[in-house]
Copies of this chain bind each other. A is one copy, B any other.
């Protein structure tokens, strides 16, 4: 999850940890936020795995002074060739977990780097998942409506409307995708 997001952002340009987190917030918006406590260890692991590497030879070295002192400044990471491969791989292997709430947003955020067929698969998977959830809530609501107090009821209905809204959104997106890439 975090891994995919980091690879995706570094795919655009090298960044250091702190910056990465800002971009993460900006890219994922209201869907997800990560803390440094998960980001830095993750960067470490990804570096050990060889997917990212420290980016020297940066515009950072201007006066020569900072690098001369043993001080540790920003650590800028860039994607390695293996990292790019890994990213592509992660994007391609979109399975059932890709349409869960937390994952979907991250996948979607990198749709412009995703194969058109995979995009449609994810959008449809997500929609099916939501429709199934909606049916579950609806039928349970039909069975127990009278027994629920007004607050629980409001919660259910607001939830249902939210799901409906997202389904409609997804349907529009799917249609647009289809127009651009007609099914073979």
Contact = CB atoms under 8 A, between A and B. Distances in A.
Given A162-B162, A162-B165, A165-B165, A156 B29 contact: yes
Interface residues of A, number: 37
Contacts of A159: 29-31
Given A25-B140, A140-B25, A169-B158, A151 B30 contact: no
Contacts of A111: 149, 151
A181 interface: no
Interface in A50-91: none
A105 B29 contact: no
B158 A109 contact: no
A26 B158 CA distance: 14
Given A25-B140, A26-B140, A108-B155, 11 more contacts: A25-B136, A27-B152, A28-B155, A30-B137, A30-B159, A30-B163, A31-B155, A109-B151, A112-B149, A112-B151, A158-B166
